[in-house]
Amino acid sequence: MSRSLTAGLLCVLLVVGIAVLQHFTLDKKSLFAPVTTTGSVGEPVVTDDFSLEVVDLEVGSALEATDILGDPIGPVEANGVWVLVRARITASHTTMTNFPAELRMKDGTTYDVPGWFSDSLDRETLSPGLPQEGAFLFEVPLERIDEPALVVTHAPDFNRYLGAQASVALDPVEPRPLDDPLVLLPPEVRTGKDNDASE
């Protein structure tokens, strides 16, 4: 009788052990997902590959920018609103050429950077230790903006698996009127608080 009791107890323990292991086993998507570091506006978010600091957020219906030749274009009206996220990003160890950005809403909906503005920060090449300051630009329906976060992922070789990712929760902002367009400026390298080396 003690053998059957022991065998039954072992079976119960085995079933419980399998259930616990299945509960804590990650699916393939979670196993290879980017490694995310979160933060807030105005504070540096430091990942293994880069640091990101969101400096400012602007929302508006019109945008002024420059084309690939540097000639001014605009104002360009949005189908919805433009969301301009001004940020500072610095590569930590290696040159970064592919770091896609997206605007992620509370419900998981994402908006990518449109490809037709050459001054968007995600088009830059980042050298280690040299901060680039510029802006990520998104076109979003106004009614869909709900607790947005800027998400930037280092994707070497266009592969986001286990890539370093920064997610910054953005504060709500009132949109500017149509006659007060946002301005997308070219990114620039920031080497210190003051560019005048003589001081």
86 is a domain residue: yes
E strands, the chain, are: 35-40, 45-46, 50-66, 72-91, 101-104, 110-112, 132-140, 149-153, 164-169, 182-183, 188-189
4 is a domain residue: no
* Residue with tokens 């929302």, as numbered in its chain: 59
In tens digits, what is the pLDDT along the chain, a chain of 199 residues? 577 878 778 888 888 877 777 776 666 655 667 888 899 999 999 999 999 999 999 999 999 988 777 788 878 888 999 999 999 999 999 999 889 999 999 999 999 988 778 888 888 899 999 999 999 999 999 999 999 999 999 988 767 677 899 999 998 878 887 788 888 888 889 776 654 444 3
18 is a domain residue: no
Amino acid at 73: I
pTM, to two decimals = 0.79
164 is a domain residue: yes
Contact 52, 180 (CB under 8 A): no
Count up the domains in the chain and report the number.
Answer: 1
